[in-house]
């Protein structure tokens, strides 16, 4: 299912995001004021784009080394059992009015309370309806925002230290760091929201099935 979700369009969106961050880095490394918008002057010095471009292009490969658990930790800010399925039956089930918890527990209960067991039961329920549009759509939204949050963190870790030593103006390095931090916070929150929504959508659907 993940292979279907992570199609050409999905990957092109990640590449577009990397391209945007490369452009931001290039403006920083040329010492131009990102907010001033002096584009005629900025576009003259393409060679200055090389250091940040090579660094951020490498992020595409580096992100493949970050496993699913670490990505979930970056999104949900939990070290142990970060996925929302680990709290599906003790927390999230009570936060969505679409879920008939009583009926669901009669069919699949008693609900587990241990995080790994909760995630295991939730995943078994998910696999039975993974191809339903309402599930696959929110799953894709979760994955794309999770990966964008991860790329934001990697962009910060790779590009900001390089900018600190190579950018001609320290202020532009701080601007670069702020941009990547804002990216991470926005995409992390979106991914967390979609992750919980995915967990509760599965429970809502299963609670209405006969």
pLDDT in tens, 46-73: 555 555 555 555 666 666 677 889 999 9
Contact (Cβ atoms closer than 8 angstroms) between residue 195 and residue 78: no
Higher pLDDT, 34 or 91: 91
Distance linking the first and last C-alpha atoms of the chain: 24
Neighbours of 162 (CB within 10 A): 19
pLDDT tier at 25, thresholds 50, 70, 90: confident
Contact (Cβ atoms closer than 8 angstroms) between residue 202 and residue 126: yes
Residue 202 pLDDT exceeds 70: yes
Residue 198 pLDDT exceeds 90: yes
Rounded to whole angstroms, the Cα distance separating 139 from 32 reads 39
Domain ranges of the chain: 2-208
**Of 97, 75, 82, 53, nearest to 149 (Cα)?**
75
Neighbours of 72 (CB within 10 A): 20
pLDDT score of 75: 96
pLDDT score of 109: 77
Higher pLDDT, 199 or 47: 199
Alpha-carbon torsion 56, 60, 62, 63, what sign?
positive
Rounded to whole angstroms, the Cα distance separating 126 from 93 reads 14
């Amino acid at each position: 299912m993940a292979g279907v979700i992570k199609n050409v369009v999905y990957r092109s969106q990640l590449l577009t995001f990397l391209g945007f961050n490369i452009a931001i880095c290039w403006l920083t490394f040329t010492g131009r004021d990102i907010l001033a918008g002096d584009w005629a002057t900025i576009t003259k010095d393409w060679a200055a784009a090389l250091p940040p471009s090579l660094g951020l292009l490498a992020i595409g490969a580096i992100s493949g080394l970050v496993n699913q658990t670490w990505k979930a930790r970056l999104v949900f800010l939990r070290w142990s059992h970060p996925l929302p399925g680990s709290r599906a039956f003790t927390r999230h089930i009570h936060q969505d009015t679409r879920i008939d918890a009583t009926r669901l527990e009669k069919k699949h209960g008693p609900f587990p309370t241990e995080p790994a067991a909760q995630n295991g039961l939730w995943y078994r329920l998910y696999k039975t309806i993974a191809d339903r549009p309402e599930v696959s759509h929110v799953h894709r939204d979760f994955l794309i925002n999770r990966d964008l949050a991860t790329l934001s963190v990697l962009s910060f870790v790779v590009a900001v230290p390089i900018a600190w030593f190579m950018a001609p103006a320290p202020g532009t390095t701080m601007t670069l760091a702020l941009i990547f931090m804002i990216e991470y916070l926005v995409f992390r929150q979106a991914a967390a929201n979609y992750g919980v929504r995915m967990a509760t959508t599965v429970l809502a659907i299963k609670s209405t099935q006969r």
